[in-house]
Structure 1
């Protein structure tokens, strides 16, 4: 019987039997002169294949009971007339043994599970460590079931047919356990804070049960169809049984789509359910029609965007800021962290690579054999695959580098002392990092582009040589541009200015807002924005470094007590230095330097103070106001210019004041003429 079954499994014998059943082969169709083209040929051939396949299924349908009966007879003979009576307890026993091993691991890790349940992650890193521990625990449970069931079964010597049957169903049990453990790890239907996929509790519980049911139905159905081949059931009968089991899987899918809990603000509503239901029905029809290439293309086309969106949402949910504790480690809005970029881009790359491998397997593309062939189509396909891999790696590298640079730029500007070494370092980084980011982007794009061209079979050595020649020609033709770029590099290397500093160069002055490779943007204090090429800057006056000395001058009459003035100014300087508003910005307080010069109508007194850059204007205004108030309280006046006009006899002068600004006009009446 075994030899007969092996003989019936021979493809040559099966082909001969099918040829005898279907009669002489039909003659090949002759192409007409007005054939519509290659697409019509393929469609006609595809329809004929589907028709033959459906006719073969309809002819094999009456034989299914007989073939199943014959398979049962083979099983009874193999198992010494006990068949399923011996097989079922054996499968159940090893499955229970696997569950027992899993239970032992579950009890042994009781303390670990208690600590995990009681854990309250306060930071993103704490949450990631908690997820990693839960993953290791879940992997340990699955491994314990696999060792207890499949491992213990393989430790004994079994008859070949019994070994194949039992091992297949044990693997199906392992698939169900894996689905349950993975669903509990990702969805956490009981503990919401452990949930990785951002869904509601009702939705998590629903899909936790449905995914286990769908995986179990598929695993046991697939193993059953495979075992029927071992028992000698024909291909058509196995396909009919598989399509019937597929109807059950389709029913589970439709039930899950329509009974899945939905939030009120979920987009799509019943329209999305109808669309997804039609997609599931269409996939089942494509499977029955043996259009597997289109089937897997539709599966990837529908599932890939959903998987990428779900991956992105899950990563952002895992890396969300904590409700309590320090959230400094969480990525700030609009500035993704390095961990978020690695997880999101890495997961997306894994999903894309998995989809590509699935399509290659579905379309019978042997990647190993493809790499050894040297035909034009294989070279093109191999180049596309290599280019896709290069683009994914370059995308990951660029976004990681960009996240690092943006994280440095997003750090708070005020860290302790604004004039401290750390603040200066961060200011310098904010100046240099945008230029470094632009240069890094250009480098990644150019290198990735050259690698992609090389992977596609393009010889890049002449291209690189030609680019060098073109670069030299452009350098000679764009000397101003090269001058601006090189000048900007040296300005930055010399640390001449940074973002946020106030500089002046010629007729341009303002606060440095940003850089590019060839120019700097200066915001004038009145609003205008200057874009100045580096080559036009020349000497730069930086007004925002370290400290500034502000000079103040006042005019007092010649009869003023200078000692009293000095005491008053000293007292005002002490008040400014002790004022909480100005004290952090005063380096050397206001003091009187002495008499600067003797004027025509007053003595000019010079004062000075040292403050932090940009703060001298407010302090100067407060100092002038305090000086005026103090002078009024002490009877000291400010000098202003006057004009004296005198003549005639010494009589009582009649003063006439003409108040024009601060100028006083004093007229002295001339003496009367002698008689």
Structure 2
């Protein structure tokens, strides 16, 4: 594959100079150098450069830019011409490499050359075979291990990773031992080492594939894909990685065998063309995650875009710009690796008893693992891109030029963004866990219920505030890393904030009022409150307003600044008063005992008993009416449950009074004749039996 030396190939023929510097007479060059070293000549040149008009300087800069572009295009054209000219010489170059390798092997003797290779393969595969048989018991235990909980899946994944690395390490140790035991010929040593690295790259890909895709063991699969998809990418990932490694190490090996640069680059391009074709075949034939062929429009669009990207990247390699080609490969593989890591972590960290990764309570360990691995991939990709561009971090730290300062600032800003993202992910996951635990909790303890309601109220606000704070801090720290003075920005932001505060006093009032309401714990999500003429259940709120659902269905959105005094009907307990009217000939002791029996029956009801804090009691005679004795009773319940318990109490009181012969008093009206007096008596009777006006508590019970 193409690599860094190709960059020098494109710049060997400068464009825009009709005569090269080397073609000038040596005497003229010496005279020119002597003149340039004179101080007066240097001062004159600087004055001439500084006194040029702005228009001339701009035109000169534009001309230089045009010359750079034209020079680059001519260099690419020259490179392609050189490659085409070198194609006929390729067979002779490869024959020369083969002759050089065979000559070295014949010089060592056939047996002496073959023996290290045989021992190399025998020792490597032999140690791998021994490792395989030594771990047979471990494999048998892994096959029957349980994968029901997150800890079981994490333990199994870790053991399988260690086992796969052990297989790879066994072969690597055997191969290195072969290199240490024998004195290899130089060319043969480089050749064997190059293709040993190719073999190790393929084996490493297979090990990772067996761990992540597990084509033969679906229960151990980390990525939630169908078996046909897992087998497809298990095979094609090894093919593509192996071909890429073969082309890369062949490109580095051929110059050691005496092959010229042009011929070596042609071999790399041919290998890249084969890799390009196989990548397109894999891209167009790959099934979806559920194993179905790619027939959806979304998959077709992504496949076409991926094809165009691969074609463009290979054309870049054809033009001789090798670093850009490798950067394109890194930018293609990095998002795929990050997506695979995310899917694998979500699947392995799914809660017990769930199938989809987004079910259940989110895991802090999963969030830390996913963000940590993603940060490692991004940092590794950035380091690889920097090395492809020829950047040395030690040199960047030592120099203090504009370019090095900018690069250091970009790297520091990149680290700041990763840290801010990791912090936000962890805190957001913790808040989501708390919200889901309070939502699905089955706690019956009043203190625990109040604590859960308060968490559901405060945590969403805390998450929004935390997001704004982290975003502002990350932006300011990133700008500071880039060399931007953030002091004036902070001062300017303060002035702007002051101006906005004066212009948006109502908004500021709403936000501050909401903060104090929350600090006072005046209401929580799910509580029934009343403010002014509006009452209902608190559904949600933001930094500025609260949403209240009326018991008849209407939804009120009220700014915090418009809230008046708040009455909360859902705190601690509620006392309900019950009034009954009995006739004057009723025995009050019998009524009291009957009410006590009704209270005991209420406590035996499994549905309402947990909501009764103090059962039904008779408080005594409330008053003597015109036709009845009014008896008052009370019961203490949990907030919001009093209406259901009252209805049940009325039903039991009716049955108990009928069983004891206790009669309810009702007004009777006798009309003895016509006239105003009779009408007045009738109206008085109607007023007595007329129901009282509906109270706020009655509206709440409705």
**Match for 1:290 among 293, 316, 320?**
320
Kept in 2: contact 1:214–1:249 (CA 8 A): yes
- Tell me, yes or no, if structure 1 residue 547 matches structure 2 residue 585: no
**Match for 1:264 among 272, 293, 296?**
293
Kept in 2: contact 1:387–1:451 (CA 8 A): yes
Distance 2:492 2:631 in 1: 71
- Tell me, yes or no, if structure 1 residue 122 matches structure 2 residue 148: yes
Per the alignment, residue 110 of structure 1 pairs with 136
Per the alignment, residue 669 of structure 1 pairs with none
- Tell me, yes or no, if structure 1 residue 439 matches structure 2 residue 465: yes
Distance 2:322 2:686 in 1: 103
Per the alignment, residue 361 of structure 1 pairs with 387
Distance 1:299 1:267 in 2: 26
Per the alignment, residue 343 of structure 2 pairs with 313
Q: CA deviation at 1:407?
A: 1.4
Q: Which runs of 5+ in 2 are unaligned?
A: 21-58, 689-702
Greater relative contact order (Cα < 8 A, sep 6+): 2
Closer/same/farther in 2, CA of residues 414 and 571 from structure 1, 3 Å limit = farther
Kept in 1: contact 2:214–2:220 (CA 8 A): yes
Q: CA deviation at 1:85?
A: 6.6
Q: CA deviation at 1:305?
A: 4.5
Per the alignment, residue 56 of structure 2 pairs with none
- Tell me, yes or no, if structure 1 residue 227 matches structure 2 residue 256: no
DSSP-derived class of the 1:410 partner = helix
Q: Taking structure 1 as the reference length, what is the TM-score of the superposition?
A: 0.81
Distance 1:34 1:478 in 2: 52
Closer/same/farther in 2, CA of residues 93 and 221 from structure 1, 3 Å limit = farther
Deviations 1:33-74 (A, max 9, x none): 999977765553333223322332344344444444444454
Per the alignment, residue 406 of structure 2 pairs with 380
Q: CA deviation at 1:454?
A: 0.6
Closer/same/farther in 2, CA of residues 48 and 86 from structure 1, 3 Å limit = farther
Per the alignment, residue 692 of structure 2 pairs with none
Distance 2:293 2:95 in 1: 53
Moved more, 66-75 or 387-396: 66-75
**Match for 1:243 among 269, 289, 294?**
269
Kept in 1: contact 2:354–2:360 (CA 8 A): no
- Tell me, yes or no, if structure 1 residue 48 matches structure 2 residue 77: no
Per the alignment, residue 299 of structure 1 pairs with 329
DSSP-derived class of the 1:592 partner = strand
Pairing of 1:385-424 with structure 2 (within 5 A)? 385-411=411-437, 413=439, 415-424=441-450
Pairing of 1:250-649 with structure 2 (within 5 A)? 250-257=276-283, 260=286, 263-264=292-293, 266-267=295-296, 279-296=309-326, 298-300=328-330, 302-321=332-351, 326-327=353-354, 332-333=358-359, 336-411=362-437, 413=439, 415-468=441-494, 485=511, 488-534=514-560, 537=563, 540-641=566-667
Distance 2:399 2:566 in 1: 63
Per the alignment, residue 229 of structure 2 pairs with 203
Per the alignment, residue 6 of structure 1 pairs with none
DSSP-derived class of the 1:96 partner = helix
Distance 1:358 1:258 in 2: 29
Kept in 1: contact 2:669–2:685 (CA 8 A): no
Kept in 2: contact 1:485–1:534 (CA 8 A): yes
Kept in 2: contact 1:342–1:396 (CA 8 A): yes
Kept in 2: contact 1:176–1:212 (CA 8 A): yes
Q: Which runs of 5+ in 1 are unaligned?
A: 1-10, 648-654, 666-675
**Match for 2:198 among 172, 193, 200?**
172
Aligned length: 634
RMSD of the TM alignment (CA)?
Answer: 4.0
Kept in 1: contact 2:545–2:557 (CA 8 A): yes
Distance 2:110 2:272 in 1: 24
Deviations 1:456-505 (A, max 9, x none): 21111233344456656766777766665555445444444322222334
Distance 1:554 1:455 in 2: 78
Q: CA deviation at 1:390?
A: 2.0
